[in-house]
Amino acid sequence: MERAVFLDRDGTINEEMGYVNHLDRFVLLPGAVAAIRSINASGLKAVVVTNQSGAARGYFPVAFIDRVHEKMLRLFSEEGAFLDGIYICSHGPPSADPEAGCDCRKPRPGLLLQAARDLNLDLSGSYVVGDRFQDVEMAREAGARAVLVLTGYGRGELQFVGPASPVKPDFVAADLPQAVEWILADLRIRGAER
Ligand SMILES: [Mg+2]
Ligand SMILES: [Zn+2]
């Protein structure tokens, strides 16, 4: 079985903009592509898992999410990075959407479970990187390790959400490059223990 690094999108790979409802609002964070290239080189799968409720809220059509991801993949490939998968929850939160209760909206683990089936992943050997405690909670639900990044909503999450959260990240990183550095070191430690 393979291991993966699951990457949240907004606030982790690209700047948190509220809703990315125009291609101009997709702006990569510094070092993000190099970090993904490091994941690619390590043999770990790189998989994006993202909540995009803006479609369900009527802020943009569902097809627009694909346009944003085409741009993301183009920017990645220009610098030699790639993804092994992109998993999207386009449903709204329970309060705003009749499709309430989908099992793929973070913090629920549906996207991770789907990716694990598709890509033959060992989730207990995998990692989630995100800027929200919902990313940490999703990781826990699936038995994966979690890194909280301080980009995007990360600082506020750590200060205001973290103290009351029943789940804690395994590591808090300044940004995605530092998160990947920690993950690769953690993998070496786990490899040595086996
Ligand atoms: Mg995020
Ligand atoms: Zn969903």
Q: How far is the CA of 73 from the centre of ligand 1 (A)?
A: 18
3-state secondary structure of 89: strand
CB atoms inside a 10 Å sphere around CB 134: 20
- pLDDT > 70 in the chain, percent: 97
Can you state the angle between helices 133-142 and 110-119, rounded to 10 degrees?
A: 50
pLDDT of residue 98: 63
Q: Residue 19 in contact with residue 59, Cβ under 8 Å?
A: yes
Ligand showing the shortest atom-to-Cα distance for residue 55: 2
Q: How far is the CA of 163 from the centre of ligand 2 (A)?
A: 27
pLDDT of residue 97: 60
73-117 pLDDT tens trace: 999 999 999 999 999 999 998 876 665 679 999 999 999 999 999
Q: Is the pLDDT of residue 24 over 80?
A: yes
Q: Which domains does the chain have, with CATH numbers?
A: 4-193 (3.40.50.1000)
pLDDT of residue 54: 95
| CA 176/CA 154 separation, integer angstroms | 11
